Amino acid sequence: MTMLKGKDIILSLLYKDALTGYEIMERIQNRLGYFVEGSTGMIYPALKKLEKEGFITSEEIIQHDKPNKKRYTICENGRTSVQDYIESPISQDKFISDFLLRAYLETNPIKELVTHEIDQITKRLAKLIADNEAVIADMAAGQLFAYEFGKNMYQTQLNFLHRYLETEIRRSNPQDNL
């Protein structure tokens, strides 16, 4: 029943690699962007809290070509927490769509709405591919699966939306039906 929390997402990522806050944010927004969310306002405070609570440790990394950064490493406590998470009941997928709510409210054709949505999803799909295709060779089975899942979803959504537009055009131009 309990929803997926930032803590679980972050610790899960740190379970595999030691990462900086910036890297965590990138991964969440890019590679995992299809199915989780994360902003600086969530990630940095969460990291701080996780360190204070003894789930992770940090070390400063001095860089000369770029700003310094802090790398976080998971510790025993954190690994246990991830195990607990994995053994906990799986929470339901959640899909929130402002687009569909607006569509739902409309009595009239929703061409502009759909066109806008096609735009959005096209961009998101392109980003998903761009962010993942480069690392595809290094992906574990599950990562590849999640990526393919997301790609498939976006493509299906696009197909559905395009199909809608086509039937709309046919409806409004009946003379095309030869």
Please give the residue ranges that form the binding site for DNA (CB under 7 A).
1-3, 5-7, 20-23, 25, 37-42, 44-48, 63-70
Tokens of 8: 């679980």
**Angle formed by the axes of helices 21-29 and 40-52, nearest 10°:** 130
Confirm if 11 and 78 have CB atoms less than 8 A apart.
yes
**Binders of a copy of itself among 46-65, rule CB under 8 A?**
none
Q: Rounded to whole angstroms, how far apart are CA atoms 114 and 2?
A: 33
Instruction: Pick the closest to residue 99 from 155, 49, 161 (CA basis).
Output: 161
What phi-psi label fits residue 90: left (phi over 0), alpha (psi between -120 and 50 degrees) or beta?
A: beta
- In angstroms, give the least distance from the CB of 141 to DNA: 27
143 binds, among a copy of itself, DNA, none (CB under 5 to 8 A by kind): a copy of itself
Choose, by CB under 8 A, the member of 60, 65, 76, 106 that binds a copy of itself.
Answer: 106
> Which of these segments, 44-52, 61-69, 127-135, 148-156, binds a copy of itself (CB under 8 A)?
148-156
Q: Nearer to a copy of itself by C-beta: 59 or 123? A: 123
Which of a copy of itself, DNA, none does 45 bind, CB closer than 5 to 8 A by kind? DNA
The sign one gets for the Cα dihedral 58, 49, 20, 83 is: positive
Q: Which does 118 bind (CB under 5 to 8 A by kind): DNA, a copy of itself, none?
A: none
